[in-house]
Structure 1
Amino acid sequence: MSATTAVFKREFRGYFGTPLAYVFLVAFLATAAFMPFSQSFFEIRDASLRLFFASLPSLFAFFAPAVAMRMWAEERRTGTIELLLTLPVTIKQAVLGKFLAGWAFFGIALLLTSSMVFTVSYLGDPDLGPIFTGYVGAFLLAGAYLAIGAFFSALTKNQVIAFVLGAAACALFVWVGSPAVTKFVEGSESGAISRFVSNFLGSMSFLTHYDPMQQGMLALGHVVAILGTTVGFLCATVLLLTETKSR
């Protein structure tokens, strides 16, 4: 059994070792189900999960850092991070194992929302293509949010600070691509500069890459962009912990 697998199993079991995991799952499911149904689901007469998927970037900005905040902050607070970094486990293996455990936990949370598919199927005849690609995009987006949260968890031993920083960073990756921001940039600069800045900010936003997926389009470029952000923050976490270990 590889060291990454060992870390994964240890962390994954840890999520269900306390009642907090079940509280999280219930809270996530309740919020995820409430938001689309509170936004005129029945009034628009649309048998789809469009409103559900549209609400996930905002939900993930809160729930993903809540999952990730304990990944490293708790290890730093209790001092077990020093023990972990002296075991025959490389920092890369530890970071990957912890991340995959959190991602799998979030995958279970998303899987539990699949009951909503049966609900809309009962109410109408939904297009299953956008639902499938929406779930793929949601899972990828959850991974990116968790990687961001893991990085900020490695910065501090205080879980609250890790959560606040992670949530702010996740919200920023959504906010920079919002119509309000792009319109402001286009109105404050002239010509080519404003278009360049607006396009750059749009490319950095998760919404740019996630929105097509919830509409049924699973383009390789959008998948690579989200995975690239995930890998980038995981690499940054490895570098940060390597620096911590060398002190």
Structure 2
Amino acid sequence: FNFHPWLYLFLVPAIAMRSWSEERKTGTIELLMTLPISISQAMIAKYLAAWAVLGLSLLLTFPLWLTVNYLGDPDNGIILAAYIGSWFMAGGFLAIGLCMSALTKNQVIAFILAVVVCFVFVVSGTNIVLDAFKSWAPATVIDVIASFSFLSHFETMAKGVIALADIVYFLLVTLIWLYAGMLLIEQKKAD
């Protein structure tokens, strides 16, 4: 589970990069906008479909859990909590990827932008980043920067602690980025 944030850094933007950018590039977004659904419904449908694919990808690692149980006696509660945390973290990455895909017509640019933004969210709580701010920023700014880190919120879940604050964090990140993506689609629709 320690590698999941770094794996998702490339896997999730690769899944999300075509969602809106290809619609705009091929012109099928006009057809989508004429359907009797709202932009928010389309965004949520695309999000849930891609999140289900990520959940299935995560579920396919289940034989590893069975193998570990066969070979030893792990704490299955910790493993289950890590799976739940990993799925919520993938949802946060996916929302960022969908927003970046809505930003551009080129899916490669959408992929690169999503990787960069997700990377910022992953490393924001690391010592290297926080040390760069310690010399000039107040402690409250450093705490705010550290609180944006996907790593710190995921690590507690990977240790078996499903805290409401961590779930709320991933849900808020998801909702904010999905809303930003909807605003971008609305803006592009007006153009």
Q: TM-score range by the shorter chain?
A: over 0.9
User: Which of the residues 157, 181, 189 maps onto 1:237?
Assistant: 181
Matches within 5 A, 1:87-106: 87-106=35-54
Match of 2:140 among 196, 211, 227: 196
Residue in 2 that maps onto 1:58: 6
Give the whole-Å Cα distance in 2 for the aligned partners of 1:174 and 1:198.
15
* Residue 185 (structure 1) shift: 2.2
Aligned to 1:3: none
- What is the distance in 2 between the residues matched to 1:121 and 1:96? 36
> Which moves more between the two structures, 196-205 or 106-115?
196-205
Q: What SS does the aligned partner of 2:151 have?
A: helix
Q: Percent identity?
A: 47
Ranges in structure 1 where 5+ consecutive residues have no aligned partner = 1-52
Question: Whole-Å Cα distance in 2 between the matches of residues 158 and 246 of structure 1?
Answer: 19
- Is 2:74 the counterpart of 1:126? yes
TM-score, with normalisation over the residues of structure 1? 0.75
Amino acid corresponding to residue 77 of structure 2 in structure 1: G
Q: Give the letter for the 2:136 counterpart.
A: E
Inter-partner Cα distance in structure 1 for 2:179 and 2:78: 32
CA distance in 1, matches of 2:78, 2:96: 26
Partner of 1:224: 168
CA distance in 2, matches of 1:205, 1:219: 15
What CA deviation, in whole Å up to 9, does each residue of 1:59-81 have, x standing for no partner?
Answer: 00100000000100110110001
Aligned residues: 191
Instruction: Give the whole-Å Cα distance in 2 for the aligned partners of 1:116 and 1:203.
Output: 31
Secondary structure in structure 2 of the residue aligned to 1:216 = coil
**Shift in Å at residue 212 of structure 1?**
0.5
Pairing 1:77–2:25 present: yes
Q: 3-state SS of the aligned residue for 1:67? A: helix
- Cα distance between partner residues in 2 of 1:202 and 1:81: 38
Shift of 1:87: 1.3
Q: Which residue of 2 aligns with 1:164?
A: 112
Q: Distance in 2 between matches of 1:221 and 1:182?
A: 21
Please list the CA deviations of residues 168-196 of structure 1 after superposition, one character each: whole Å capped at 9, or x if unmatched: 1111100111122123322x137xx1x22
Aligned to 1:144: 92
Determine if the alignment matches structure 1 residue 111 to structure 2 residue 55. no
2:34 to 86, 90, 96: 86
Q: Which ranges of 4 or more aligned residues in structure 1 deviate by more than 2 Å?
A: 183-186
Give the Cα separation in 2 of the matches to 1:246 and 1:157. Answer: 16
Which amino acid in 2 is paired with 1:135? Y
